[in-house]
Structure 1
Amino acid sequence: MTSSTPLSPRAPFFVVINAGSGRDDADEAIPTIRSILEASGREFDVLEVADPARLPERIAEALERARRAGGVVVAAGGDGTINAAAQQLIGSDVPLGVLPQGTFNYFGREHGISQDVAESTRSLLRASAVPVQVGRVNGRVFLVNASLGLYPKLLEDREAFKQQFGRSRMAAAWSGLRTLLGERRQLQLEIESEGKRRTVRTPTLFVGNNRLQLERIGIAEAAMLENGCLAGVMLRPIGDLAMLGLALRGAFGRLGEAETVETFAMKRITVTPRGKRRVRVALDGEVLRMAPPIVFDVAPEPLLLMLPAPEDRVEVE
């Protein structure tokens, strides 16, 4: 999935910016985006979303307008905002542009998109539409990762921590450490893959679709994403000290080497948690509740992403 799709250099941009990704970020970003696009002579419109509940509605509006005008939908926000846009754009002929505005921005960073809004807006003007792989869980798209168990709990705790102490990587890391050392629940999962079934007990099942994130924590299966696969990670039941040790391994890029960690590549797995009518599932930083069975797979159609020209791509930090 590397060939680019020709796009008119006059294709208009319909920019959906999520103020929920950071009120101050949005206030600073909108004038910057406007000034750069106005100076370029490119036709555009900015659709600001003050209420996160209206984000899908505004994306749908932008998609319809882009279809009629032969344009591009641009998502300005964090991984969750970009995911919401991908949900609607996948399978369409409308490309997705990305202006990262969140905390971690794994999707944008993997594709060399600058986290500086001025730089990413300028690079968007010279970008080409390229198909990229997308994962799904029960039909819903994920770009970075999806998971059951510990990770959704970590995200919920991180959101509560953010409301109290603000949005930063340091606050996220501290919140994550507290969750890792305090969570005791285990999942009983029946897993079916390629006609084989097995039952496992684990605190979490993590499925990754982002090579950068997987490489950072030391998962060798990151390379298999190039072959149309997803990467799975499961932990064996362990105590607090061992969990802390895994967190440190992940921080130093050696998680996959741990004996208590199982990693694997797959294109589709079906997971049924025992005794659960609904289960928390995390997708790109958002937590949903789904009814089992939970099916993780590679989406049959790619997402068209506006990839920066080689000279505009930034080095991964």
Structure 2
Amino acid sequence: AEAAAAALAHGTAVVAVGGDGSLGTVAQAAHAAGCPMGVIPYGTFNYFARTHGIPTEPAAAVRHVLDAHPQPVQVGGINDRVFLVNASLGVYPELLQDREAYKARFGRSRWVAFVAGCATLLRAQRRLRLHIETGATVRDVQTLTLFVGNNRLQLQQLGAEPEDTVVGTPGDGSLAALMLRPIGTLSMLGLMLRGAMGRLGEAAGVECFEFTHMVVKPRLARGRKEIVVAFDGEVARMRAPIDLRVLDQPLYLLQAPGAAGEPAAGA
């Protein structure tokens, strides 16, 4: 926060180095201060950088930042926190915790992340009971996880892009929600196979929809007021209800003229 305030006062920018989780931490401070932010990606997936045309090779990313100018990009909000790529409740935060344990033991790679995810999903049993409000629509659901995406590249990779029902697209005017209804072990194996093939949205028990603002009220045990959530790979506890929305104020990202993100699948 101090670095962002100092950069704003001197008419410069903060530069974040790391994966999507580290970038999200810096973005929280930069967004609050209204300070431009540059990115040097150094993570496993680098969805945010790739979506916004930032090279994933560090030296090229540094050159990109030096040639860049601030451009507004959409960020999501989960209660009082900002997220760049995704936010979630339920089994997905558990998956992230397991993934970090696997990485500490076996190293950082996409295969390690995939194996950790499979192990978490196969033992997933805990159901969330959620009261969901999106505009005039109100409903009660049971789900293993509620995943909210602000990044078209990640959604395309999963094959989980929602129908176009509101103005804009996920990451540029709207957010995408994905819910996984409780299913058996065999169905879960089929779901993981579809996810690996980029066809998650076709799986039975998976629901995808688009929104700009959603309030989630989880049914908690007596005396509990907080629920475990994840945002951009970071896991924390938040007080219910959970408010998810497209933030009116953008993040000012340093982008070079003509920078283009990775093309859409099939484009």
TM-score (norm 2): 0.91
Residue 184 of structure 2 is matched in structure 1 by: 239
8 Å contact 1:269–1:296 — kept in the other structure? yes
Give the CA deviation at 1:151: 0.3
In structure 2, the CA distance between the partners of 1:177 and 1:61, relative to structure 1 (3 Å rule), is same
Is 1:87 the counterpart of 2:28 in the alignment?
yes
Is 1:140 the counterpart of 2:94 in the alignment?
no
Q: 1:263 aligns with which of 203, 208, 232?
A: 208
Q: How many residues align?
A: 257
Is 1:189 the counterpart of 2:130 in the alignment?
yes
In structure 2, the CA distance between the partners of 1:293 and 1:93, relative to structure 1 (3 Å rule), is closer
How does 1:158-307 map onto structure 2 within 5 Å? 158-221=99-162, 224-225=169-170, 228-276=173-221, 277=224, 278-307=226-255
8 Å contact 1:215–1:222 — kept in the other structure? no
8 Å contact 2:5–2:35 — kept in the other structure? no
8 Å contact 1:270–1:294 — kept in the other structure? yes
**C-alpha distance after superposition, 1:51-71 (max 9, x if no partner):** xxxxxxxxx232122122210
Helix, strand or coil at the partner of 2:170: helix
Partner amino acid for 2:114?
A
Give, in whole Å, the separation in 1 of the partners of 2:107 and 2:117: 14
Give the CA deviation at 1:264: 0.6
Give, in whole Å, the separation in 2 of the partners of 1:233 and 1:113: 27
Residue 19 of structure 1 is matched in structure 2 by: none
Give the CA deviation at 1:79: 0.8
8 Å contact 1:270–1:293 — kept in the other structure? yes
Partner amino acid for 1:110?
T
Give, in whole Å, the separation in 2 of the partners of 1:98 and 1:222: 31
Give, in whole Å, the separation in 1 of the partners of 2:261 and 2:57: 10
Identity %: 52
Give, in whole Å, the separation in 2 of the partners of 1:174 and 1:225: 27
Give the CA deviation at 1:222: 8.1
Give, in whole Å, the separation in 2 of the partners of 1:89 and 1:307: 15
Partner amino acid for 2:210?
A
Residue 33 of structure 1 is matched in structure 2 by: none
Residue 257 of structure 2 is matched in structure 1 by: 309
Give, in whole Å, the separation in 1 of the partners of 2:120 and 2:256: 37
Give the CA deviation at 1:91: 5.0
Give, in whole Å, the separation in 2 of the partners of 1:70 and 1:130: 15
In structure 2, the CA distance between the partners of 1:213 and 1:187, relative to structure 1 (3 Å rule), is same
How does 1:19-98 map onto structure 2 within 5 Å? 60-98=1-39
Which structure's relative contact order is higher, taking Cα pairs within 8 Å and 6+ residues apart? Answer: 2
Give the CA deviation at 1:202: 0.6
Q: Pairwise CA RMSD of aligned residues?
A: 1.8
Partner amino acid for 2:191?
L
In structure 2, the CA distance between the partners of 1:82 and 1:295, relative to structure 1 (3 Å rule), is same
Give the CA deviation at 1:209: 0.2
In structure 2, the CA distance between the partners of 1:176 and 1:90, relative to structure 1 (3 Å rule), is same
Partner amino acid for 1:248?
L
Partner amino acid for 1:293?
P
Structure 2 unaligned residues grouped into runs of 5+: none
**C-alpha distance after superposition, 1:9-38 (max 9, x if no partner):** xxxxxxxxxxxxxxxxxxxxxxxxxxxxxx
Q: Larger helix proportion, structure 1 or 2?
A: 1
8 Å contact 1:190–1:198 — kept in the other structure? yes
Helix, strand or coil at the partner of 1:185: coil
Give, in whole Å, the separation in 2 of the partners of 1:68 and 1:294: 33
Give the CA deviation at 1:227: 5.5
Residue 55 of structure 2 is matched in structure 1 by: 114
In structure 2, the CA distance between the partners of 1:222 and 1:281, relative to structure 1 (3 Å rule), is farther
